[in-house]
Amino acid sequence: MQDIGDIFNNRVLLVALVACFVAQGLKLIFEVIKNRKVDLRVLVTTGGMPSAHSALVTALAFGVGQTLGWASPDFALATVFAIIVMYDAAGVRQAAGKQARILNQMIDELFHEKPDFFQDRLKELLGHTPVQVIAGSVLGVTISWLARAAY
């Protein structure tokens, strides 16, 4: 049985995680530019520009392709996984966020005269726009490509 420490020698995994962390860091920068204030919560929340999910899975798939070959079954598996994650981020979770926004608005309007009614608001920023997903994908490919060129 291999040591768990071998995980730290897995360059493909490490590069994918770096891409995810870089995307989360960029979200903080974009938040500061947009709202002119630092909100550290963006580092641990979903949604926003660029998609960290897309950066992670795209860097993973691209790294597998670079390492094991573009015709390998492993690359095919990673690519299908990436497509599913990105579709979910831009499609299903985006729609759920829109529904949450409408439900929150309905609750606000229906219960504005009943201050004793207390219910946590639904989280509205769940998914990504297609542009955010594409930006995350470009970031993931770029980081994976740069990391491969560096070693």
Q: What sign has the CA pseudo-torsion 80, 86, 91, 94?
A: positive
Using one digit for the tens of pLDDT, what is the confidence trace for 98-112?
777 777 777 777 766
Kindly state the DSSP code that residue 121 receives in the 8-state scheme.
P
User: Could you give the CA distance from residue 73 to residue 37 in angstroms, rounded to a whole number?
Assistant: 46
User: Could you give the CA distance from residue 6 to residue 71 in angstroms, rounded to a whole number?
Assistant: 26
pTM confidence score: 0.77
Helix axes 73-87, 52-68, angle to 10 degrees: 170
Residue found by looking up tokens 């995810």 in the block: 20
120, burial (CB in 10 Å: exposed 0-12, middle 13-18, buried 19+): exposed
Domains of the chain, by residue range, sit at 4-150
Using one digit for the tens of pLDDT, what is the confidence trace for 13-65?
999 999 999 999 998 998 888 888 888 888 787 778 899 999 999 999 999 99
